[in-house]
Amino acid sequence: MNTRRITLLVAVVLALGTGILTLRYLTSIQQQANDQQANVEMKPIVVAAKDIPARVKITPEMLIRVQRPATQIEPGALDVPSQANGDIALISIPAGSTVTQSKIGQPSEVGLTERLKPGMRALSIPVDRVKAISGLLEPGDRVDVLASPARAADSQPKAVTIIRGAIVLAINDAIDAVGGASPSPQSANLVTVTLGISAQQADLLTMADLNATLRLALRSPKESVNSLPPETLVFPVTSSAPPASGNVPEPFTFANMQPAPPVSRFGPSAGHVMVIDGDKVVSEFR
């Protein structure tokens, strides 16, 4: 009888000791988590308290102010609900999504032209369902643009990200998101995606579209647009066959250059080109 009591007493003591150690361990973990959270800078932002359909006037009960880590805040996020007074939703804003300046605007800003901020350009590129994330893109998403130049005979091309964080302005001719996880009817016949980019990026994207294969990569809305720098697009040098021996042109020298005959200012003869700057003839070439 005494042995059983002693065994039971030992078991109770061990259980209490284990419980105390477990409680201390959990408390230390919680303390570490609290310390880490205290070291993260938190900022207030405005999110949708419920689903806000496109072209609907925003009212105070549609918005709520929350605290989020500064590293997870989208560019242009509102920090005070009053900043959206009198505005409408330019695209559908799901519940819990960050309300940004690019997602709201005045009724006159529903058109695509009015959505472009100063310095932005809207540029469309041809895509298919594979190159545009299976048709799951929606206006308002942010994407990276990847370019892969044609393969040269003696080199392997490298795909590079030439643009990061471009905003999707339209899918085909739709400028509003439909929401939901399934592809929209517009995405079923995906042909073009219109991106909002800078003027310099528009030049780069046009050149890449003509000389490389483009793909879009969907970005997380919690990732900063400037988290990674864009990469440089380099086209491989292609070798060309030398001309036939009988067709090798004579090397150019100033000695063998013949002056062009005079050209009438008002009627250049056949085989000549006149270059005019304003009202003055600048130069004439054969």
pLDDT in tens, the chain (286 residues): 577 777 888 788 888 888 888 888 888 888 776 666 666 778 899 999 999 988 788 988 999 999 888 888 888 899 899 888 878 888 889 999 999 988 888 765 566 766 778 889 999 999 888 888 887 888 889 999 999 988 777 777 788 999 999 999 888 877 766 554 445 544 557 789 999 999 999 999 999 999 999 999 999 888 888 888 888 888 766 555 454 444 444 443 334 444 444 444 444 444 444 444 444 545 544 4
Task: Count Cα neighbours of 104 within 13 Å in the Cβ-side half-sphere.
Answer: 27
Distance between CA atoms of residues 212 and 219, nearest Å: 22
Structure tokens at 202: 């528009």
Note every long-range contact of 188-193, with CB atoms under 8 Å and residues 24 or more positions apart, other chains counting.
188/135, 190/127, 190/128, 190/129, 190/132, 190/135, 191/126, 191/127, 192/124, 192/125, 192/126, 192/127, 193/124, 193/125, 193/127, 193/132, 193/137, 193/168
How far apart are the C-alpha atoms of 180 and 237, rounded to whole Å?
A: 45
Residue 196 and residue 116 in contact, taking contact as beta carbons nearer than 8 Å: yes
Residue with tokens 């361990």: 25
- Say how many CA atoms lie within 13 Å of 88 toward its Cβ: 15
Does residue 99 contact residue 78 with C-beta atoms inside 8 Å?
yes
Q: Are 138 and 171 in contact (CB under 8 A)?
A: yes
The whole-angstrom separation of Cα 216 and Cα 164 is: 10
May I ask the CATH class of domain 42-109? alpha beta
Question: Which of 204, 225, 190, 193 lies closest to 74 in space, CA to CA?
Answer: 225
Q: What single-letter amino acid sits at 39?
A: N
Q: Per-domain residue ranges for the chain?
A: 1-39, 42-109, 119-218
What backbone phi and psi angles, to 5 degrees, belong to 220?
-75, 135
Determine the pLDDT at residue 188: 56
78-91 burial, b if ≥16 CB within 10 A, otherwise e?
beebeebeebbbbb
Sequence letter at residue 218? L
